Amino acid sequence: MTSVRLRLLILALLPLVVLMPALLALAVGRWSANYDALLITNVETDLRVADQYVQRILSTTGGDVTALARSLRFDAALRETAESLPAFLAREREALGLDFLYYRPRAAIPHGFPVIARAAAGVPATEIDIFSPEALFALPETGAALTERARVPLIPTQAAVPTTRIVEDRGMVIHSATPVTTEGREGVLVGGILLNRNLEFIDTINALVYQDTGRAGARQGTATLFLEDVRVSTNVRLFEGARALGTRVSAAVRGAVLGAGQTWLDSAFVVNDWYISAYRPITDSFGARVGMLYVGYLQAPFDAARRNAYILVFASFLAVLAISVPLFLRLARNIFSPLERMTQTMARVEAGDLEARIGRVAARDEIGAVAAHLDSLLDQVQERDRALRAWNEELNARVEDRTAELRAANAKLESTYQQLVMSEKLASIGEITAGVAHEINNPAAVIQGNLDVIRQTLGEAAAPVAHELGLIDRQVGRISAIVGKLLQFARPSEFGTFEEDVNLGQVLRDCLVLVDHVLSKADITVEITEAADTPLVTINPGELQQVIINLVTNAAQAMKGGGRLTISTEPQAREGRAGAALIVSDSGPGIAPDKIGSVFDPFFTTKPGEGTGLGLSVSQTLIRQAGGNISARNRAHGGAEFSVWLPAQK
């Protein structure tokens, strides 16, 4: 049974131990989701800042080239000799911080880039384009240097899309072109900046996005420019401090950004650590996605801060729990203590200690009143128990006296009843025997006498009916035998006991001759096993013959439709006495378990209307008179088995 203490603890601590952790877990989950959203928002803002810087570079580069094309000094340089123009453009390229700058008259305008085509049509344009190694090398003056600077060896990168390339030799260029409208010198002015290995460009982005404020916990950020999925300009470091140029982005990021044109805002593994990352696609003047702009900051410090927050929250909860539970138990002690004393007192009373009492309780509330009232009830119970015990002892004494009288009367009645039953049984048997002797033997004697008169009278003329006369003779003999069985069962002491040493095997064989017609008619196979060392036994041979014939006849009647009869003799000692056993087994249905204890009772038969029920009873009497024993059992594999044991000759 659940104690009151436990139930009160559950009721009081359930909100603290179950509901509060659930609410705490929900709150922590919401905070974690908001924390993650904040991190993503931060990196999205960082990407926006980086993209604005790139757009500013594009705008500045385009504005510088357009301003130069429209300047008076460029106009003057065009009108001078053709040999002086390259030197002028080289000075302007250095001054504007460009990697290449060249002029092409209308007749020599190169085709292939939409930027130049729009400039030839009179519209200035600035885009990011991808230059092949040949296009880079063809740039005037700086082409060879730019071709070499653009080469980036590829470094095998885990989780990247498999490739057979070993080097990235294309160039990602801020490509600007503007129309030149000087009369007689119409054409285009083209300039640009190579972004491959442009560390100043990428470091400026990183400095703008992730300013080093010197504060503890400041974000550790990186920025990268990708040509397709290859890092061509980055401040992401490898293990020994070298920049991770030539490493590649993961296949998942490539598929989302370059393949689907999406902006990636999520955690990603960058070279050798996890970063809160943002990627956006870069398109060229053809509108194709040719690269990616990346910014991100190291995830580990924020994961550590998240873990520390979790630890702090749950440690605070455990501290509150550790303080609250003992405090509650202390406050509840005034309730628990009287209730526990009541429980203990009731347990002692149930165990038989009626002297147990709760005693004085400090509480003066309802619990104290209940405790006092319970003690009063226990006093009344004890007093009534004393009275009941006294009455019980008196009643027990009276019952004991009456029980002794009834026991003596019952024993006397039982003895008288047994004597009456025996007397009635003997009287009935005596009457039956006398009646049989008078009513059967006399007619049988008359029949036998008349049968003899018929034989004498007819002489040889009786030959045609000799068989019928013999049949009558045998039936009269059977009647005499049945009467003899009755008389022998009723008064066995009146019959002679001519005991002698008998060979069980010899008597058995003699008996089988007498019942051979019974066995043959029933299609029964007989199997006899005689042990050579079977001793002689002392018994009246006729009585033994009667027992064997009775057992064999019963077995034959049990095996309707044929079967196997097994008879064996063997030496067998019982209770230290030497003897011999005769075992008769059949293959019939056996004896019903509820009737096996009654087979030796007088007049018991399993064949109503066919037998007298005296055969086995008489057999048991004859065997016991010879000092032996007869028993019956069912065999495990079917059929009944009767065992006759007789002591060996003295």
DSSP-derived secondary structure for 313-359: HHHHHHHHHHHHHHHHHHHHHHHHHHHHHHHHHHHHHHTT-TT----
**Which percentage of the chain shows pLDDT scores above 90?**
30
Determine the 3-state secondary structure of 385 from DSSP. helix
User: Does 643 map to a domain?
Assistant: yes
Burial class (CB in 10 A: 0-12, 13-18, 19+), 77: buried
- Residue finishing a domain among 303, 333, 363: 303
The per-residue pLDDT of the chain, averaged, comes to 83
**pLDDT above 80: residue 372:** no
Mention every residue, 6+ apart, whose C-beta is less than 8 A from residue 237. 243, 244, 271
Contact 558, 526 (CB under 8 A): no
Contact (Cβ atoms closer than 8 angstroms) between residue 220 and residue 282: no
Structural domain range at position 596: 496-647
CA 273 from chain center: how many Å? Answer: 42
Bigger pLDDT: 611 or 130?
A: 130
Using CA atoms, how far apart are residues 560 and 543, in angstroms rounded to an integer? 27
Q: What is the mean pLDDT of residues 26-54?
A: 88
Q: How far from 121 is each of 26, 116, 186, 340, CA to CA, in Å?
A: 63, 9, 11, 101
Angle, helices 84-96 vs 20-69, to 10°: value is 160
Task: Please indicate, yes or no, if residue 360 is contained in any of the structural domains.
Answer: no
Q: Give the integer Cα–Cα distance in Å for 262 and 278.
A: 11
Of 240, 268, 303, which closes a domain? 303
Amino acid at 222: T
Any idea of the CA torsion for 25, 30, 35, 40, to the nearest 10 degrees? 130
3-class DSSP state for residue 87?
helix
Instruction: Tell me: pLDDT of 495 over 60.
Output: no
Q: In what order do the strands lie in the sheet with 187-194?
A: 100-105, 187-194, 171-180, 125-131
- Residue 548 in any domain: the answer is yes
Q: What's the CATH number where 556 sits?
A: 3.30.565.10
Confidence of residue 230 (pLDDT cuts 50, 70, 90): very high
How distant, in Å, are the alpha carbons of 67, 106, 432, 450 from that of 74? Answer: 10, 16, 163, 178
Is the pLDDT assigned to residue 583 strictly greater than 70? yes
**Cα 618 to Cα 603: distance, rounded to the nearest angstrom:** 10
Pair 610, 593: CB distance under 8 Å: no
pLDDT band at residue 346, thresholds of 50, 70 and 90?
confident
For residue 638, CA distances in Å to 585, 587, 616, 629, 635 come to 10, 6, 21, 23, 5
CA distance 542 to 496: 11
In a domain? residue 204: yes
CA 62 from chain center: how many Å? 73
- Indicate if the alpha-carbon torsion angle 116, 117, 119, 120 is positive or negative: positive
Residues in CB range of 245: below 8 A, 6 or more apart: 152, 197, 231, 232, 233, 234
Domain membership flag for residue 344: no
Q: What is the mean pLDDT of residues 271-289?
A: 91
Per the structure, the count of domains in the chain is: 2
Global pTM reads 0.51
490: Cα separation from own chain's centroid = 74
Across 6-16, average pLDDT? 67
In the three-class reduction of DSSP (H, G, I as helix; E, B as strand; rest coil), residue 550 is classed as helix
272 within some domain: yes
In this predicted structure, the answer to whether residue 287 has a pLDDT above a threshold of 50 is: yes
Structure tokens given for 460: 């040889």
The CA-CA-CA angle for residues 103, 106, 112, to 5°, reads 80
| 124 lies in some domain | yes
Q: Which of 370 and 134 is assigned the larger pLDDT?
A: 134
403 assigned to some structural domain: no
Distances (CA, A) of 548 to 466, 552, 560, 648: 31, 6, 19, 18
d(CA 312, CA 266): 26
**What pLDDT shows up at residue 1?**
42
> Considering 251, 269, 303, which residue would you say is the last residue of a domain?
303
pLDDT, residue 444, reads 78
Torsion, Cα of 56, 62, 66, 67 (10° steps): 30
